[in-house]
Chain A
Amino acid sequence: MCLAIPGKVLSIDEGPGRLARVQFGGITRTASLDLVPEAGIGDYVLVHVGFAISKIDEEEARKTMEALEQLADLQDELGPDPVGHA
């Protein structure tokens, strides 16, 4: 129920209801931007039951991925832990 899917805002109809065309992979759907007025064309938003509920912060997403990738790289360099609990 709380499922929300990230999609890219393709266009916005600035009439009442501020409806946007949002692309999810190969599918495009209409979603209301009323709850995320700061979202603009090209932004990624989380869409839940036809409403964007949050704008995805691209910078924070990049940082999260970088930290995860660094963890993977660091472990590559160190090799397996000889005294670990695995």
Chain B
Amino acid sequence: MKYIDEFRDPKIAHRLVEEITRRVTRDWTMMEICGGQTHTLVRYGFEEMLPRQVHLVHGPGCPVCVTPLEVVDKAIEVAARPDVIFVSYGDMLRVPGSKKDLFHVKAEGGDVRIVYSPMEALKIARRNPDKKVVFFGIGFETTAPPHAMAILQAKREGLENLSMLASHVLVPPAIRTLLDSPQNRVQAFIAPGHVCAIVGFDQYESLARDYQVPIVVAGFEPLDLLEAINMLVTQLEAGKHEVQNQYVRSVTRYGNIGAQRAVQEVFELCDRKWRGIGSIPRSGVRINSKFAAYDAERVFGLEDGGAEEPKECIAAQVLMGLKKPLDCPEFGTRCKPESPLGAPMVSPEGACSAYYQYKRHLAPAVTRMGMD
């Protein structure tokens, strides 16, 4: 496929690894934010290919992973109502709430449906005027514009039986929180290309300046990521801390202005709790009061319950780049994709799921015994 195959050329990949190896003189720790990038890095064995001085740690850029337990519990509460058709992206169905997940709700007779696009939720609402259709709208900056467009379209059509349980989060406040942590060891960031396709990379300049960390906006194919790592190593070795754009074919400095306007029209900034990390001020957006009729939390009067994370899950440390999935004693034994303890094992973008898929043979022997 065009724009995919050529960015997987193994000859150029090896050359880039040689180039990185030639440049690096000491240990550097860098983090990719986006779960999609984590999967490319793990799938293509970057850790094994790159010189040992380059340490890759995985960030919190998996919306399924960071959606707080309370929101999952709200989804479960509303999905169980007999008057509701609950519509969600597939990943969210197996995310454990404090007592059960959405698959259990479906098994118990709840009308829970999986869709690929928010526009399918509109179709379902049109076809079922006697039901209340609730769309589970989670995601980062990339997904917020399509969700805003769905709400705008519902309003234009006068669809009154559609609402959204929205939980959107933003990348830069999370990076700031990571960098503010006294435990932080990340020295450079690979910024998420598709988030930046929407918001641009202008707002990353202040992060690079304030914390003196180099940031490279990158695509999702192996050559994109290797080039980004090469750019970061070059900056780190030279003592620079600039924002560079590797993903020039899809990202511009100011991003997609039309998409940003749609988000501004429907949503407003808010504090958000991140699963495993805690509350981060102004780190998300919620449906604003003009569109309150489409806000499932207001429509159904959903309230925060006091939910607690399972203590044995180390997702918080994985999402902060402090530990890797293979450091977890539950990895591959009690925690597997079909019976996850934490969200990073559920989502196809979760770091634990990536390690389970591509690296579980490297888990300690005691863990491997529990493998399928």
Contact = CB atoms under 8 A, between A and B. Distances in A.
B195 A2 contact: yes
Interface of B: 1-4, 6-7, 9, 11-12, 15-16, 18-19, 21-22, 24-25, 34-36, 51, 61-64, 89, 91, 116-120, 138-140, 142-143, 145-146, 149, 153, 192, 194-195, 197-198, 220, 223, 227, 246, 248-251, 256, 258-259, 262, 347, 349
Contact of B2 (A44, A51, A72): A44
B145 A53 contact: yes
B249 A64 contact: yes
Contact of A49 (B12, B36, B118, B258): B118
B4 A49 contact: no
B249 A57 contact: yes
Contact of B22 (A3, A34, A60, A84): A84
Given A49-B118, A86-B21, A2 B51 contact: no
Q: Which of B61, B119, B138: most chain A Cβ within 10 A?
A: B119
A12 interface: no
Of B12, B51, B192, B246, the most chain A CB neighbours within 10 A belong to B12
Contacts, number: 144
Contacts of B51: 85-86
A17 B119 CA distance: 10
A2 B61 contact: yes
Nearest to B34: A2
A51 B117 contact: yes
B25 A85 contact: yes
A10 interface: no
Of the four ranges (under 10, 10 to 19, 20 to 34, 35 or more), the interface on chain A belongs to 35 or more
Contacts of A61: 3, 249
Of A81, A84, A85, the most chain B CB neighbours within 10 A belong to A85
A57 B248 CA distance: 8
Contacts of A17: 153
A1 B63 contact: yes
B149 A34 contact: yes
A51 B262 CA distance: 13
Interface in A1-60: 1-4, 6, 8, 17, 24-25, 32, 34-37, 44, 46, 48-51, 53-54, 56-58, 60
B194 A53 contact: yes
Contacts of B6: 65
Contacts of A2: 34-36, 61, 63, 139-140, 142-143, 192, 194-195, 349
A51 B146 contact: yes
A53 B22 contact: no
